[in-house]
């Protein structure tokens, strides 16, 4: 929906308007419709708006409620804002807009910190409470909307992306904890860390209260269980409830907008099911969008074979884009410049190029992210289940990108600070309220890992074009239910059994029973030719050598035999290294 930024100073100085303008320039693409600033002694907010709910100036941000002595900047969408508005009106609140933004202000005034428990949506927001003289900062349960911060003795600064904080002087030295996780969890760096020492991020389902003297209180307000319900359900009841909750998740995301909404249609089960449920609920004018690339050898570069079947069955208004592989490399730098953090998923550039085209037609789209994590769609889940050893060993063998011993060879000794990935996984798997090993796997994936991989990719690449992506499969009520389903039920039929059962009769069997696919982009999967030369040039550049992160002897081994260095998830370890270095060159070098 938007980009937000701001600062609270602890040294009694005024917020530098130049710094505020610099941060706003770095988030401008997230909100191209309008911009706004607000400041008083010691605190200032900036906002870039993408107008989706209440398109009038009454919903302009930063939003100040003078009667309540509150000021807010907000990124996201509150799906139940109309119901909350009715509830708060009964409590005597009067509204000056039709926006979900104003509902947050009133909710905070009425419920205080607990307001987040009443919000159903994706959000990152910051409220300046004039009476209490503190900031209240919140991020949604699933972490769908990003929120980064820099904390020093002088100030707390926040923004929707890391680039804003780098631009005003955040420490850009490498965080060794994050570096080891970056290269082990296919670019997932769990909050609060990022690969940059001076840039952190708010954890999902977390609120902060930051006082003007620098004191900070952190609260986690949602921790889902991964256990069977107290009242046992039959398999058919689990599936029926999945159908009901998913339908509700889709419809609430369609209803909360004053602009048309489309669907990113990959041709896979997940996005196809979204279209089918919209049709089942009575939506007729459905807009869908697909992208494909050139084939390489036997590897298909598109899934049009399947997406075309969905278009034909549901008579959607469809736009299909074909991108030649020759276009990928010239646009790669653009996509990386819009990544909040380094992201190695090969579909990042695909989403970036697709969003560019879709944004010419529409402002909001539904996307299928989260279905595989919530409903056991990946090939590595059965392998983990069949594995022996400790829980973390079973998980790591089929997920972690490189053994710790190889990590020590990959980076220079300065960054040999411990196996932080294993430490983090031990902590995650030790959490209570999970019935069995696979329950812990699914909970870790859907509540922690997915946040900083596919969800962040889709948010960054779509918002780079002022396009908001909504993810029904990550509806928190649906996730709570999915985590209660027995793993054996989710994993039957080679995974996603509940979704496949829902789809029978709605979708063509060829779409339901097809082999699990991934956003095809062969040029970045098979590192050869100009792509190999490109990556080699990055990793042997003077910038990379002088940065001193990677051991150049090991780098040369990987360049010489890239096919030998593939991950457990079939990713290229060479691409992982090159992407990280290229991101640093684009987003850090020259920004200092």
DSSP sequence for 165-215: HHHTT---SB-HHHHHHHTTTTT---TT--SBTT-EEPPTTEEEEEETTS-
Q: In what order do the strands lie in the sheet with 216-220?
A: 63-65, 70-78, 121-129, 134-139, 206-211, 216-220
Which has the higher per-residue pLDDT, 530 or 407? 407
The whole-number pLDDT of residue 517 equals 64
Whole-angstrom distance, CA of residue 548 vs CA of residue 333: 22
- The encoded tokens of residue 137 equal 């900062």
Q: Which one from 2, 115, 126, 544 is the annotated catalytic residue?
A: 2
Segment (H or E) for 247 = helix 235-255
Instruction: Answer yes or no: are the C-beta atoms of 51 and 59 closer than 8 Å.
Output: yes
**Could you give the count of Cα atoms lying within 13 Å of 558 in the half-sphere of its Cβ?**
28
Position 347 confidence tier, pLDDT thresholds 50, 70, 90: confident
Task: Read off the DSSP letter of residue 141.
Answer: T
pLDDT of residue 150: 98
DSSP letters, 499-532, are HHHHHBTTB-HHHHSSPP-----HHHHS--HHHH
For the chain, which domains are there?
2-220 (3.60.20.10), 235-375+440-521 (3.40.50.620), 527-592 (no CATH)
**How far apart, in Å, are the Cα atoms of 187 and each of 17, 28, 102, 426?**
34, 25, 36, 19
Q: What distance lies between CA 342 and its chain's CA centroid?
A: 13
d(CA 559, CA 551): 12
- Model confidence over 386-401: pLDDT tens digits? 999 999 999 999 999 9
Give yes or no for residue 526 having a pLDDT over 90.
Answer: no
Q: How far apart (Å, rounded) are the C-alpha atoms in residues 291 and 357? A: 10
pLDDT digits (tens, 9 = 90+) for 285-301: 899 999 887 766 666 66
Provide mean pLDDT across the span 554-567.
93
Binning pLDDT at 50, 70 and 90, where does residue 417 land? very high
Q: For the segment 246-290, what is each residue's pLDDT rounded down to a tens digit?
A: 999 999 999 888 888 999 999 899 999 999 999 998 888 899 999
Residue range 5-32: average pLDDT?
95
**H or E element: which one contains 4?**
strand 2-9
Containing 281, the helix (H) or strand (E) segment is none
CA angle 449, 144, 404 (to 5 degrees): 20
User: Which of 195-199, 328-332, 400-404, 554-558 shows the lowest per-residue confidence on average (mean pLDDT)?
Assistant: 328-332
Do 488 and 386 contact (CB within 8 A), yes or no?
no
Q: What angle do CA 161, 167, 173 make, to 5 degrees?
A: 85
Whether pTM > 0.85 for this model: the answer is: yes
In a 13 Å sphere around the CA of 67, the CA atoms on its Cβ side amount to 9
Q: How much is the average pLDDT of 162-183?
A: 98
pLDDT grade, residue 531 (50/70/90)? confident
Residue 208 · residue 202 · CB < 8 Å: yes
Which residue in 78, 81, 144, 72 sits closest to 105, CA to CA?
A: 72
Contact 116, 124 (CB under 8 A): no
Kindly give the residue spans of alpha helices, DSSP state H, lying in 315-470.
328-337, 347-358, 371-375, 380-386, 391-397, 404-410, 420-429, 437-444, 454-463
Residues near 482 by beta carbon (within 8 Å), at least 6 away in sequence: 242, 374, 375, 442, 446, 490
The pLDDT score that the predictor gives to residue 300 is 65
Q: Give the mean pLDDT of 142-166.
A: 98
What is the spatial distance between Cα 565 and Cα 399, in angstroms, rounded to a whole number? Answer: 15
Contact status, residue 338 vs residue 460, Cβ threshold 8 Å: yes
Among the listed residues 134, 76, 83, 133, the one whose alpha carbon sits nearest the alpha carbon of residue 106: 83
Strand-by-strand arrangement of the 287-293 sheet:
317-323, 287-293, 261-264, 364-366, 468-470
The residue-averaged pLDDT of 484-504 equals 97
Cα 350 to Cα 46, 51, 377, 469: the distances in Å are: 30, 25, 21, 15
Q: What percent of the chain has pLDDT over 70?
A: 97
Secondary-structure percent of the chain, ordered helix, strand, coil, rounded to 5: 45, 20, 35
Q: How many CB atoms lie within 10 A of CB 64?
A: 17
What does the pLDDT read at residue 521? Answer: 56
pLDDT at 522: 53
Mean pLDDT of 537-549: 97
pLDDT band of residue 51 (cuts 50, 70, 90) is confident
Long-range contacts for 93-99 (Cβ within 8 Å, ≥24 apart)?
96/58, 97/54, 97/56, 97/58, 97/59, 97/63, 98/53, 98/54, 98/56, 98/58, 98/59, 99/53, 99/54, 99/58, 99/59, 99/63
Mean pLDDT, residues 312-322 taken together: 94
Contact 510, 309 (CB under 8 A): yes
Distance CA 554, CA 406 (A): 9
User: What is the predicted pLDDT for the residue at 350?
Assistant: 83
The predicted pLDDT at position 58 comes to 84
Give the per-residue pLDDT at 327.
Answer: 80
Which residues, including other chains, have CB under 8 Å from residue 74's CB and lie 6 or more apart?
Answer: 1, 2, 4, 61, 63, 100, 101, 104, 123, 124, 125, 126
What pairs with residue 321 in β-bridges?
291
Q: Look-up: residue for tokens 């100030």?
A: 155
On the question of pLDDT at 592 being above 60, the answer is no
Give me the chain's average pLDDT, please.
93
The yes-or-no answer on residue 126 being catalytic is no
How many whole angstroms from its chain centre is CA 115? Answer: 23
Per the CB < 8 A criterion, the answer to whether 290 and 301 are in contact is: no
| Beta-strand runs (E) in 221-323 | 261-264, 287-293, 317-323
Long-range contacts of residues 30-33, Cβ cutoff 8 Å, at least 24 apart:
30/2, 30/3, 30/75, 30/160, 30/161, 30/463, 30/464, 30/466, 31/1, 31/2, 31/3, 31/466, 32/466, 33/466
Segment 46-56 shows an average pLDDT of 86
């Amino acid at each position: 929906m938007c980009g937000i930024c701001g600062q609270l100073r602890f040294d009694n100085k005024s917020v530098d308007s130049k710094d505020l303008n610099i941060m706003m320039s770095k988030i401008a693409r997230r909100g191209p419709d309008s911009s706004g600033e607000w400041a008083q002694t010691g605190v200032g907010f900036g906002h870039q708006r993408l107008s989706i709910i209440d398109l009038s100036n009454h919903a302009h941000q930063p939003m100040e409620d003078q009667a309540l002595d509150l000021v807010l900047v907000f990124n996201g969408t509150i799906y139940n804002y109309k119901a909350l508005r009715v509830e708060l009106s009964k409590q005597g609140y009067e509204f000056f807009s039709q926006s979900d933004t104003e509902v947050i202000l009133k909710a905070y005034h009425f419920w205080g910190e607990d307001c987040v428990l009443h919000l159903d949506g994706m959000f990152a927001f910051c409220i300046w409470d004039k009476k209490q003289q503190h900031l209240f900062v919140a991020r949604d349960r699933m972490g769908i909307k990003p929120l980064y911060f820099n904390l020093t003795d002088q100030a707390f600064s926040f923004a929707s992306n890391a680039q804003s904080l780098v631009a005003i002087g955040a420490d850009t030295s490498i965080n060794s904890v994050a570096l080891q996780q970056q290269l082990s969890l296919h670019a997932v760096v769990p909050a609060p860390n990022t690969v940059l020492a001076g840039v952190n991020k708010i954890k999902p389902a977390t609120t902060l209260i930051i006082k003007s003297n620098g004191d900070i209180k952190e609260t986690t307000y949602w921790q889902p269980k991964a256990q069977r319900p107290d009242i046992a359900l039959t398999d058919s009841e689990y599936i029926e409830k999945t159908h009901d909750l998913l339908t509700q998740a889709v419809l609430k995301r369609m209803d909360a907008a004053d602009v048309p909404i489309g669907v990113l249609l990959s041709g896979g089960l997940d996005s196809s099911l979204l279209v089918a449920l919209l049709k089942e609920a009575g939506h007729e004018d459905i807009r869908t969008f697909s992208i494909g690339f050139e084939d390489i050898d036997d590897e298909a570069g598109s899934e049009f074979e399947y997406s075309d079947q969905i278009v034909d069955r549901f008579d959607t208004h469809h736009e299909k884009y074909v991108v030649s592989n020759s276009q990928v490399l010239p646009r790669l730098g653009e996509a990386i410049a819009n990544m909040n953090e380094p992201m190695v998923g090969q579909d990042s550039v695909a989403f970036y190029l697709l969003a560019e085209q879709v944004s010419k037609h529409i402002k909001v789209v539904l996307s299928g992210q989260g279905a595989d994590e919530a409903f056991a769609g990946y090939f590595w889940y059965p392998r983990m289940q069949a594995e022996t050893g400790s829980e973390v060993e079973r998980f790591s063998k089929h997920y972690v990108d490189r053994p710790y011993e190889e990590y020590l060879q990959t980076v220079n000794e300065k960054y040999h600070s411990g196996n932080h990935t294993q430490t983090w996984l031990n902590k995650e798997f030790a959490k209570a309220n999970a019935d069995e090993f696979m329950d812990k796997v699914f909970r870790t994936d859907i509540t922690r890992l997915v946040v900083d991989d596919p969800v962040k990719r889709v948010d960054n690449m779509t918002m780079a074009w002022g396009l908001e992506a909504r993810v029904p499969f990550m509806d928190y009520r649906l996730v709570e239910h999915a985590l209660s389903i027995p793993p054996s039920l989710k994993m039957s039929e080679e995974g996603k059994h509940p979704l496949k059962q829902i789809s029978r009769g709605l979708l063509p069997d060829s779409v339901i029973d097809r082999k699990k696919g991934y956003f095809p982009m062969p040029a970045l999967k098979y590192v050869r030719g100009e792509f190999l030369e490109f990556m080699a040039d990055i990793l042997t550049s003077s910038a990379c050598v002088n940065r001193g992160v990677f051991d150049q002897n090991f780098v040369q081994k990987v360049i010489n035999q890239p096919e030998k260095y593939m991950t457990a998830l079939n990713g290229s370890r060479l691409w992982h290294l090159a992407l990280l270095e290229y991101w640093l060159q684009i987003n850090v070098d020259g920004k200092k």
